[in-house]
């Protein structure tokens, strides 16, 4: 039986670079997640001329690691909150709020996938 000589391994850990890599990846995932929420909410936005739907936008604050999905028309909040208004089938008030519970798992998966990808996994 032959015994191999002792082996050694040298590991150099650059924690700051790894942390920055994960932070950037998480921010990319956050952007993708917010875009997913926007896409799903656009399917429910009440449509008259399409202006409200087209006004949807995503923004990400990478320092705070926060994302926002917004609709920017003078009447966006009123349409979102008016539970008494009638809309076409599939379109409704709470068009943004109602998709959040349904998209949470997908948003988390998008963020996790970006972090895994950045780490080579």
| pLDDT tens sequence across 34-72 | 999 999 999 999 998 999 999 999 999 999 999 999 999
DSSP-derived 3-state class of residue 2: coil
Q: Are 94 and 102 in contact (CB under 8 A)?
A: no
Question: What is Dmax (Cα atoms) for the chain?
Answer: 84
Q: Residue 34, Cβ neighbours under 10 Å: how many?
A: 22
Strand blocks (E) in the chain: 56-61, 66-71
Here the tokens at position 69 are 């999905």
pTM for this prediction: 0.85
CA proximity to 87, closest of 101, 98, 74: 98
In tens, the pLDDT along 71-96 reads 999 999 999 999 999 999 999 999 99
Residue 3's pLDDT is what?
A: 60
């Amino acid at each position: 039986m032959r015994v191999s000589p002792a082996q050694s391994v040298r590991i150099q850990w650059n924690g700051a670079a790894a942390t920055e890599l994960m932070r950037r990846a998480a921010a990319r995932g956050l952007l993708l997640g917010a875009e997913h929420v926007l896409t799903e909410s656009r399917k429910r936005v009440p449509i008259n001329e399409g202006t409200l739907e087209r006004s949807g936008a995503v923004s990400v604050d990478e320092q705070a690691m926060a994302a926002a999905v917004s609709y920017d028309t003078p009447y966006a909040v009123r349409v979102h909150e008016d539970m008494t208004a009638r809309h076409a089938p599939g379109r409704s008030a709470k068009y943004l709020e109602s998709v959040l519970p349904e998209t949470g798992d997908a948003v988390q998966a998008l963020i996790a996938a970006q972090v895994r990808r950045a780490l080579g996994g």
